[in-house]
Amino acid sequence: MKKPIHLSFCVLLFFSLCAFQIKDFSSGENVNIDKPHPGNLYVAGGNITINAPVSGDLLAAGGNLTVNDSIQEDVLAAGGSLIFNGIIGDDLRCAGGEVALASEVWGDVVMAGGQLTVGKNAIIHGNLIVSGGTIQIDGSVMGEVMLASGDFVLNGTLHQKLEANCGQVTINGVVEGIALLTAESIQIGENAVFEDQVRYWSQDKNLDFGSSLKGGEAVFDENLKPERKGLKIFGFATLIGLFWYLGTVLLMMVILLLLMKPIFLKAARVGLDDLGKTLGLGFLFVLGIPVLILMAFLSLIGLPIGLILLFLYTLIMLFAATISALMIAHYIQYKNQTIWPFWQVILIAFAIFIGLKVLTFIPILGWFTLAVIVLFAFGSILRGFWKSKSSAAETL
């Protein structure tokens, strides 16, 4: 399977944002797209319905998303309920509480969520990577399938390799490639067909495959026994941990934007007019505050102040990438000479944040680039803050 597929898509998204191409954005409590949309579409809202074709990419975030028409390129979506009834011309990446795919996808599919369903009429022409509580595949997958879930049910047809790591597996469909099954319990239905080798691990070492084996044999493999170490994504061992982290980041972005929107706007205007000064201020903040904290600790009188500064500094540095993403989003907005709605800024900043996290996967150069971006963000915010204070003083 193509492991870098998540990272590649995030990098592509990040650079497309930085190219200042985000113009076609819709938001609101209820968003309906009823006319054909040329180019890429970016949308956020409580309830989103796509009833017309989109000739580019679709990036959507909301409570409920229903896509009833075709998307010519990629789809990146997140929400409580996601329903895809229209043809997707390239890759699909999505995460939601409930995800239902009922149409064709001509590229790869990456899904995560609580309940995931690939409908009877759905055809995935690429690979399928999926993680969730309950996964049911009733349609066809032309590429390889890799999945992890509590429960997995196959009623459809898999044309290549299947690799499943689950709590319970029920096979009542066709697997044409090699099957690697790891589960506490494996159930083989009457309509199950394996046309190649099967390797499995379950509590039952002598699993009865009946007449399902058509092109190979089934072998119990102790090496497939799960080690319970988990898959790490961005340093998190569980999908729940990852969602918790991203949810915290999203919440912090909302709080920061509510409290500091005027400062971000001014910082975007002044950040690049003297880049050396901006980076210098950022460098002074990152390295200078620890010196002040140390000096406060050396004085008994200043100890309480030192503790407060240490707490605030630690909190700021923990969310350095979050703050930097908001700063970059405001800079893009300034370069576009427009004012975006509140949730558009949040959505763009969140996508940029993912791009910044991807940078950390690049040894040395990635971390160096992230450090420069953080210094630029902090320096810009300091200059924007002083600009606000100066403007207020002049008004008085």
Cβ-based neighbours of 86, under 8 Å, separated by 6 or more: 50, 53, 67, 68, 69, 70, 71, 103
pLDDT of residue 388: 57
Question: DSSP code of 332?
Answer: H
- What is the Cα–Cα distance from 137 to 123, expressed in whole angstroms? 10
Could you tell me which of 111, 54, 109, 53 has the C-alpha nearest to residue 82? 111
In 3-state terms the chain splits into helix, strand, coil percentages (rounded to 5) of 40, 30, 30
**DSSP run (H or E) holding 166:** strand 162-171
Task: Please give the structure tokens belonging to residue 86.
Answer: 């229209």
pLDDT of residue 5: 35
Task: Please give the structure tokens belonging to residue 186.
Answer: 């494996």
Contact 110, 133 (CB under 8 A): no
One digit per residue, the tens of pLDDT, for the chain of length 396 reads: 333 333 333 333 333 333 334 455 666 678 899 999 998 888 876 788 999 999 999 878 767 899 999 999 999 887 778 999 999 999 998 877 789 999 999 999 988 777 899 999 999 999 999 887 899 999 999 999 999 888 999 999 999 999 999 999 999 999 999 999 999 999 999 999 999 999 999 988 889 998 999 988 999 998 888 765 444 444 444 455 566 677 778 878 888 888 788 888 888 888 777 778 888 888 888 888 888 888 877 776 667 777 877 888 888 888 899 999 999 888 888 888 888 888 888 888 888 888 888 777 777 887 888 888 899 888 888 887 776 555 544 444
Task: Please give the structure tokens belonging to residue 350.
Answer: 């969140």
pLDDT of residue 241: 55
- What is the Cα–Cα distance from 167 to 339, expressed in whole angstroms? 49
Contact 130, 116 (CB under 8 A): yes
- What is the Cα–Cα distance from 49 to 68, expressed in whole angstroms? 7
User: b/e map of 300-328 (b: 16 or more CB within 10 Å)?
Assistant: eeeeeebeebbeebeeeeebbbbbbbbbb
pLDDT of residue 169: 95
Contact 195, 171 (CB under 8 A): no
